[in-house]
A and B are shown apart, each in its own frame.
Chain A
Amino acid sequence: MQRFATKLTASFAAAAIVTIAMGADADVGDKYGAYKVEDRRSGFTYATKETQRIQVDDFENPAMIWVDDGEALWNKAEGEASKSCASCHNDAAESMKGVATVFPKYDPKLGRMKNVEKQINICRTERMKAKPWKLESNEMLAMTVYVRHQSRGMPMNVKVDGEVAPFFEAGKKFYYQRRGQLDLACGHCHVDNPGGQMRANILSQGQSNGFPTYRLKWQRVGSIHRRFRGCNKQVRAIPYKAGSEEYTNLELYVAWRGRGLPVETPAVRN
């Protein structure tokens, strides 16, 4: 908490500037192409031309190195079972196609939602008899990027009804809950004010279709939960843990907000 206290002055200054200009978008037609579905816009459409250019060329996008790393790991046997991902799932280009569009998914055994990272560790511990990877480790990021990359271009399409409904509602509640010293909910920036500015930055709709994403700020690839933690810290709230049930439910809700948007993994963002 001491850390928050020292930043108090800065946070008041920030609060004053959170009189965010309205994003009066005059966009018509399909100038954003596939990056816009109905009123839902990928973060790509808020990025500068230079950042967009880094993303779209697979030999300029630095996150493609993580994709390569993931491919190598996919074929590497590990654990007491001496199995690799490929031992069960064969060619990822076939078996993992579409996976990113439907996660987070309900897991009856867990009794809650699981995201791709969680599924990877379930496979590692139960099928491969290997140690789980730490969240945000190079290995976990590389594998998550590799798995999600197999759905690039496919529309996000998570299930939110039936047994999933209570988790979806929990995620939605989190999204609209004010929090932190700035007393802001996710929705204040990403529903009410996309296109406006938070200090010198353009606010986006906070879509998740490009995650794990290479952020210029991070100078590496990071997960959607790392981004949630960053957002929560920026409103001076105590963040939840990466992999927590709270963030997994939030991930589900955010994935639904971006329904129809193409998977861009690995995207490049500020």
Chain B
Amino acid sequence: MAKAKTRVKVPKSVKKGEVFEAKALIKHKMETGQRKDRKTGEKVPRFIINKFTAEYNGKQVFASDWHPAIAANPFISFHAKASESGTMVFKWTDDKGKTVEASAKVNVA
């Protein structure tokens, strides 16, 4: 998954204690394990991202477990609260245990 591409967004600036929205996209086929290869007729093995987490300044603020019903090129939006400026680290983990990280800074005014 080293080549996986991501896009993440948080507000540049929030007020102290304000709840803000974070958005994250990643390019991934999310193979369900149900699909058959058109040419060979054989089932394509399952290969999905099964975990997505977000840490703010090293502390987990959101986590999720994904099953094959999550659509290809997964999008997720969630919320967090910040009492100080810091960095949100987004982390995706696939079926092979490989991880991809992306980060974004939040300025607490």
Contacts and interface: CB of A to CB of B under 8 A. Distances in A.
Touching chains A and B, CB distance < 8 Å: yes
Interface of A: 54, 57-60, 62, 64-65, 68-69, 219-220
B27 A62 contact: yes
B23 A60 contact: yes
B72 A219 contact: yes
Looking at chain B's contact residues, the main secondary structure is: strand
6 contacts: A54-B75, A59-B8, A59-B25, A60-B77, A65-B7, A219-B29
Given A219-B73, A220-B72, A220-B73, 13 more contacts: A54-B75, A57-B23, A58-B7, A59-B23, A62-B25, A64-B7, A65-B6, A65-B25, A65-B27, A65-B73, A69-B5, A219-B29, A219-B72
B44 interface: no
A60 B71 CA distance: 13
Contacts, number: 34
Contacts of B23: 57, 59-60
Contacts of A69: 5
A220 to B, nearest CB: 7
Interface string B1-28: 0000111110000000000000101110
Interface in B85-109: none
Contacts of B29: 219
A148 B31 CA distance: 29
A68 B72 contact: no
A65 B6 CA distance: 7
B72 A59 contact: no
A151 B36 CA distance: 39
A136 to B, nearest CB: 15
B72 A64 contact: no
Contacts of B77: 60
A25 B71 CA distance: 33
Contacts of A60: 23, 25, 75, 77
A150 to B, nearest CB: 18
A237 to B, nearest CB: 20
A156 B104 CA distance: 36
Contacts of B9: 59
B73 A59 contact: no
A65 B5 contact: yes
A141 to B, nearest CB: 12
**Cβ-closest 4 pairs across A and B:** A219-B72, A59-B9, A62-B73, A59-B23
B5 A62 contact: no
Contact of A68 (B7, B71, B73, B75): B7
A64 B23 CA distance: 13
A60 B74 CA distance: 10
